Amino acid sequence: MKQQLTKDIVNKKTKAFSKAVDKHLDAYRKKVEKIIRKAEARKVAELKSKLG
C-alpha cells in the first residue's frame, strides 16, 4: 500500500495506461470504420440499382 508517489512514477504509469487505451481505441476505430464503409458501399450500390 505504502508507495512513494512521485511525478515520474505517476507520469510513466498513467502514460502507459493512456497508450494502452489509445491502442484499444484504434482497433475499435478500424472495425467501426470498416462497418461504415461497408454501409456506404451498400447504399451506393442500392442507389445505382435504383437508377438502373
Partner 1 sequence: MARIERGAAMPEPGDENEKIDGGMSYKSSEDIDKELEDIIAQEDAVRLGQDIVEETFGDTEAEVHNLQERAEQVGVNEEEQEEIDSLTGNLSETIQKEQRGLIKEFVDVEPEVLDKRVKEAADFIKNNEGASVEDFNENFGLDEETGSLYFSLARTFGKNREKLVENDQEKAKKEQLGKVVGSLVENAKSTETEEGDEVEIGVEQEPLDIEVGNYVQWKSQGVDQFPKPKKVTAISEDKKYVFVENSHTGLPADEIEKVEKEEEATNTEEGSGNTDASAGDTAQNKSDYDGWKQYVEKEKQVINEAKRKEQAGVTAQVETIFAAARGPESARPEEIRSSPAGIEARTRRAQIFGQNRERHISRTSEQVGGVRFERLVRNRVHDMTSGFNSILASQGLRSLTQSLFKSENMEPAQIDADAAARLAGRFVRRSGGFFGFAKRMFGIDQPFRRVGTRILRAPLTAAYAVGSRVDDMVSAAATYVERPIAQFRSHRAQVQERAALRQLETGRSVDVERVQGFINKTREMQGRLDRVNTPVTERDRT
Number of residues that bind partner 1 (CB under 8 A): 37
Answer yes or no whether residue 35 interacts with partner 1 by CB under 8 A.
yes
Answer yes or no whether residue 13 interacts with partner 1 by CB under 8 A.
yes
DSSP for residue 4:
-
With a CB cutoff of 8 Å and minimum separation 6, the contacts of 3 are 9
Measure the CA–CA gap between 6 and 12, rounded to whole angstroms. 10
Answer yes or no whether residue 49 interacts with partner 1 by CB under 8 A.
no
Q: What is the distance, to the nearest Å, from the Cα of residue 5 to the centroid of all Cα atoms in its chain?
A: 31
Residues that bind partner 1 (CB under 8 A): 1-7, 9-11, 13-18, 20-22, 24-25, 28-29, 31-33, 35-36, 38-40, 43-44, 47-48, 50-51
